[in-house]
């Protein structure tokens, strides 16, 4: 979203404009906007009236600095005005009926063809009018915006035949003829600036109750429209149950000619290439629909931190997984923790109050990831009912207002009857994450069973936490939640059966700093390697040729290749390695974490032995040096190697893969067995 631009815009207004005394005026604006794509031009006419004639006319309007003003009239009579630096100053006498501003603006921000490596989600485009399409952001000043007053808009966009414009509001007119096309929108809710998109679209419509569901897609993507509308219907139904009534007259999915993913009041603008991706309907779309409540209807007070991305991520990207595939939800929480551990160094973390918008993966790990986990912890703390009830009141009372984290706190406190001061202080205003330790773990036989005890510690600065501990036996799991407000606390389980393991926070419900051992190396780490080295194990020389598709898939086909003996002589440690075949030397030995058994060319994973000619194993493990990884490609035969090689790079998020006859049997990433917050109790280790 164009949050940063909006922020700059609001700040600008606050600095420049004197605060108007008395009640804020509400303006009725009728906008006529002709798009001339070939000339990158917008020809505009704005007709303004006061909703309540007793309120005062604003004397200042912002408009794109490059605009040419053709006429300013009050009740059809020209009036003097000045226009400089994007400020239009008009002195209007009280009692004036209608103010009309006629203007022209050229918008031609260049749109880069190659977007690889650009982190800025706006791609640097604020406003552009082109034959391929038009996008005018709310911050671009494409229509006069009264300073310190909100408006209701009726917007008519005209252009060449087949060109339709989309902005906020209900679609009240859509006409086309040989001489041109015209689209008209009417907003109800008072708004500040509008964004606008226009292009040669096919329009598909549906309704959900009173709400218009619309798709504006290019002819090329028009067949996707009905699927998108079906998804809009489903998500709007779900979110109305969770948040209350949908705040706008329509929801439109609109195609953009360059790859954006914006959410505006009542519509989303997705790039052509984005729309075609099969997962967008279930990921970006619900995220943007969630933003119509969180960020659009309830606006964000950026000065105290952007909570909208964390909430949209939690209720869409995360919560939909929880509804449909709980295992994926668990994996999503772990991914948030892993991203944070990988991207944020200790002492290098901004508090959520400092997050404004995503400009890098690091910002994303905090403003989206950590914030989503904060909502998750809040939901666990105050319980489901109070959480959703709290969100409903935020949506109901916050509509049209600019809300800070503290406003959310107020609503969740009211819904839960709990004092959430400590919670919000430690998670929102403080940067960083708790670091937990597990010590003094002991297992003792007692009269009618076993006792498992130990101590949980945390580093300073201290958090007030509820930590879930789990003891697993052969038959069941015992959970216990212990408070950890000081630097340490003890715990004790008394159970009837032999304990098998003890885990801290087994479901990753807590936002915490992971240990390096908890951040597994994955196939993606190999793919991202800048210093790859292929090592061919002694006796596996024929495997190099059979691994060709694997190297291609990992983009390692240009990588240097060494045999095991040369590797042992040179010992280059600053490389990511891919070992082909079972190595003979101690240095390259496959060293798997607990839970795997490695015998002579055989590995047991989850009780299943992989040793056959049709089996292929692939592991990615931490390398010799920090930030380096080592991959092992271990096929049971050359034929199995050839058959499986091309498949492996498709399993980027995983660190352990097992295939049988070319079909994937095991794909795992997370290995809590290797976590310092987990203990395994073997029977012989027990008293």
CB closer to Zn ion out of 296 and 649: 296
Query: Minimal CA–CA distance to 290: which of 322, 324, 247, 349?
Result: 247
Stretch that binds Zn ion, among 61-69, 164-172, 303-311, 599-607 (CB under 5 A): 303-311
Stretch that binds Zn ion, among 66-74, 302-310, 517-525, 588-596 (CB under 5 A): 302-310
Stretch that binds Zn ion, among 220-228, 307-315, 348-356, 464-472 (CB under 5 A): 307-315
CB closer to Zn ion out of 3 and 512: 3
Least distance from C-beta 247 to Zn ion, angstroms? 17
Query: Do strands 576-580 and 532-536 pair parallel, antiparallel, or not at all (unpaired)?
Result: parallel
Q: For Zn ion, which residue of 27, 166, 312, 629 counts as binding (CB under 5 A)?
A: 312
Residues within window 425-464 making contact with Zn ion, judged by CB under 5 A: none
The pair of structure tokens assigned to 316 is 């869409």
CB closer to Zn ion out of 357 and 675: 357
CB closer to Zn ion out of 262 and 610: 262
Least distance from C-beta 2 to Zn ion, angstroms? 11
The pair of structure tokens assigned to 309 is 């991305």
Size of the site for Zn ion (CB under 5 A): 2
Stretch that binds Zn ion, among 194-202, 310-318, 514-522, 662-670 (CB under 5 A): 310-318
Residues within window 544-563 making contact with Zn ion, judged by CB under 5 A: none
Least distance from C-beta 395 to Zn ion, angstroms? 17
CB closer to Zn ion out of 72 and 316: 316
Stretch that binds Zn ion, among 183-191, 208-216, 311-319, 648-656 (CB under 5 A): 311-319
Stretch that binds Zn ion, among 130-138, 246-254, 304-312, 525-533 (CB under 5 A): 304-312
Which helix or strand (DSSP H or E) is residue 389 part of? helix 384-397
Query: Minimal CA–CA distance to 435: which of 386, 483, 500, 488?
Result: 488
CB closer to Zn ion out of 143 and 358: 358
Least distance from C-beta 268 to Zn ion, angstroms? 10
CB closer to Zn ion out of 121 and 676: 121
Least distance from C-beta 245 to Zn ion, angstroms? 21
Residues within window 76-95 making contact with Zn ion, judged by CB under 5 A: none
CB closer to Zn ion out of 312 and 521: 312
Asked whether the bond before 461 is cis by omega within 30 degrees of 0, the reply is yes
Least distance from C-beta 310 to Zn ion, angstroms? 9
Residues 192-231 as x/- pattern, contact with Zn ion by CB under 5 A = ----------------------------------------
Query: Minimal CA–CA distance to 404: which of 430, 373, 428?
Result: 428
3-state secondary structure 63-104: CCCCCEEEEEEECCEECCEEEECCEEEECCCCCCCCEEEEEE
Query: Minimal CA–CA distance to 329: which of 316, 348, 312?
Result: 316
Query: Minimal CA–CA distance to 323: which of 334, 311, 332, 336?
Result: 332
Measured N-to-C along each axis, helices 284-293 and 225-243 cross at an angle, to the nearest 10 degrees, of: 40
CB closer to Zn ion out of 309 and 643: 309
- Lay out the sheet containing 87-90: strands in order across: 81-84, 87-90, 60-62, 145-146
CB closer to Zn ion out of 168 and 644: 168
Measured N-to-C along each axis, helices 371-382 and 326-343 cross at an angle, to the nearest 10 degrees, of: 130
Residues 251-290 as x/- pattern, contact with Zn ion by CB under 5 A = ----------------------------------------
The pair of structure tokens assigned to 461 is 């600065």
What is the full DSSP assignment across 392-451?
HHHHHHSTTSEE-HHHHHHHHHHHHT---HHHHIIIIIS-S---EEEEEEEEEEETTEEE
Least distance from C-beta 261 to Zn ion, angstroms? 8
Least distance from C-beta 657 to Zn ion, angstroms? 33
Stretch that binds Zn ion, among 125-133, 151-159, 305-313, 618-626 (CB under 5 A): 305-313
The pair of structure tokens assigned to 277 is 């991706």
Least distance from C-beta 370 to Zn ion, angstroms? 15
Least distance from C-beta 431 to Zn ion, angstroms? 21
Residue bearing tokens 């009534």: 245
Residue bearing tokens 């991706």: 277
CB closer to Zn ion out of 310 and 672: 310
Least distance from C-beta 264 to Zn ion, angstroms? 12
CB closer to Zn ion out of 312 and 657: 312
Least distance from C-beta 1 to Zn ion, angstroms? 6
Stretch that binds Zn ion, among 36-44, 268-276, 301-309, 593-601 (CB under 5 A): 301-309
d(CA 96, CA 84): 24
**Are 491 and 456 spatial neighbours (Cβ–Cβ below 8 Å)?**
yes
d(CA 311, CA 369): 10
CB closer to Zn ion out of 284 and 547: 284
d(CA 369, CA 506): 19
Measured N-to-C along each axis, helices 371-382 and 384-397 cross at an angle, to the nearest 10 degrees, of: 120
Least distance from C-beta 357 to Zn ion, angstroms? 9
- In order of 71, 102, 138, 605, the CA distances from 68 in angstroms are 9, 9, 19, 72
Least distance from C-beta 313 to Zn ion, angstroms? 7
Residue bearing tokens 């909703």: 51
Least distance from C-beta 316 to Zn ion, angstroms? 9
3-state secondary structure 177-245: ECCEEEEEEECCCCECCCCEEEEECEEEEEEECCEEEEEEECHHHHHHHHHHHHHHHHHHHHHHHHHCC
Q: Is 315 in the site for Zn ion (CB under 5 A)?
A: no
Stretch that binds Zn ion, among 309-317, 527-535, 562-570, 597-605 (CB under 5 A): 309-317
Stretch that binds Zn ion, among 128-136, 306-314, 468-476, 493-501 (CB under 5 A): 306-314
> Which positions touch Zn ion (CB under 5 A)?
309, 312
């Amino acid at each position: 979203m164009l949050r940063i631009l909006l922020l700059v815009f609001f700040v600008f207004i606050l600095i420049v404009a004197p605060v108007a005394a008395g009640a804020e005026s509400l303006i009725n604006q009728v906008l006529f906007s002709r798009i001339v794509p070939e000339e990158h031009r917008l020809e505009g006419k704005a007709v303004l009236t006061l909703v309540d004639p007793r309120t005062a006319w604003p004397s200042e309007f912002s408009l794109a600095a490059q605009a040419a003003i053709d006429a300013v009239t009050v009740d059809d009579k020209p009036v003097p005005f000045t226009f400089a630096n994007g400020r239009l100053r008009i002195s209007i006498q009280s009692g004036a009926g209608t103010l009309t501003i006629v203007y022209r603006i050229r918008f031609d921000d260049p749109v880069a063809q190659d977007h690889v490596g650009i982190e800025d989600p706006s791609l640097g485009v604020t406003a552009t009018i082109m034959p391929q399409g038009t996008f005018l952001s709310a911050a671009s000043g494409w229509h006069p915006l009264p300073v310190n007053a909100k408006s209701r808009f009726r917007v008519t966009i005209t252009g060449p035949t087949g060109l339709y414009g989309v902005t906020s509001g209900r679609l009240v007119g859509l006409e086309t003829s040989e001489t041109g096309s015209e689209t008209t929108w009417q907003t109800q809710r008072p708004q500040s600036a509008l964004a606008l998109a226009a292009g040669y679209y096919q329009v598909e419509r549906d309704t959900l109750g009173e709400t218009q569901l619309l798709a504006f897609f290019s002819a090329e993507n028009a067949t996707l429209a009905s699927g998108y509308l079906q998804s809009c219907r489903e998500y709007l139904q779900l979110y109305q149950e969770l948040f209350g009534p949908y705040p706008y007259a329509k929801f439109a999915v609109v195609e953009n000619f360059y790859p954006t993913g914006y959410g505006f009041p009542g519509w989303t603008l997705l790039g052509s290439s984005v729309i075609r991706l099969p997962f967008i309907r279930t990921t970006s779309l619900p995220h943007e629909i969630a933003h119509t409540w969180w960020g659009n209807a309830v606006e964000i007070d950026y000065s105290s931190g952007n909570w909208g991305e964390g909430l949209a991520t939690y209720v869409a990207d995360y919560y939909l997984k929880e509804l449909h595939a709980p295992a994926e939800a668990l994996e999503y929480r772990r991914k948030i923790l892993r991203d944070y551990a990988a991207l944020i160094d200790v002492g290098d973390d901004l508090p959520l109050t400092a997050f404004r918008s995503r400009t890098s993966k690091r910002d994303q790990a905090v403003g989206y990831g950590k914030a989503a986990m904060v909502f998750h912890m809040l939901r666990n703390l105050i319980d489901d009912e109070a959480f959703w009830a709290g969100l409903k009141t935020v949506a109901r009372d916050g509509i049209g207002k600019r809300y800070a984290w503290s406003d959310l706190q107020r609503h969740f406190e009211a819904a839960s009857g709990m004092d959430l001061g400590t919670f919000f202080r430690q998670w929102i205003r403080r940067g960083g994450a708790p670091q937990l330790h597990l010590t003094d773990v002991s297992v003792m036989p007692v009269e009618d069973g076993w006792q498992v005890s130990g101590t949980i510690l945390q580093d300073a600065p201290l958090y007030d936490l509820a930590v879930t501990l789990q003891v697993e036996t052969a038959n069941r799991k015992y959970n216990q939640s212990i408070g950890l407000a000081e630097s340490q606390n003890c715990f004790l389980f008394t159970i009837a059966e032999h304990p098998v393991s003890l885990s801290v926070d087994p479901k990753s419900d807590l936002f915490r700093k992971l240990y390096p051992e908890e951040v597994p190396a994955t196939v993606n780490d190999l793919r991202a390697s800048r210093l790859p080295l292929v090592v061919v194990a002694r006796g596996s020389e024929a495997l190099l040729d059979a691994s060709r598709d694997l190297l291609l898939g990992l983009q390692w086909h240009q990588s240097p290749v060494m045999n095991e003996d040369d590797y042992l002589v040179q010992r280059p440690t600053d490389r990511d390695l891919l070992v082909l075949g079972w190595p003979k030397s101690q240095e390259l030995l496959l060293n798997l974490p607990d839970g795997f058994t490695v015998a002579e060319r055989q590995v047991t994973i989850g009780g299943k032995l992989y040793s056959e000619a049709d089996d292929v194993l692939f592991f990615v493990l931490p390398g010799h040096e920090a930030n380096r990884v080592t991959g092992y490609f271990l096929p049971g035969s050359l034929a199995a190697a050839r058959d499986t090689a091309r498949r492996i790079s498709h399993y980027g998020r995983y660190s352990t893969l097992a295939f049988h006859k070319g079909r994937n049997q095991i794909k795992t990433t997370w290995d809590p067995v290797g976590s310092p917050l987990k203990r395994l109790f073997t029977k012989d280790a027990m008293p």
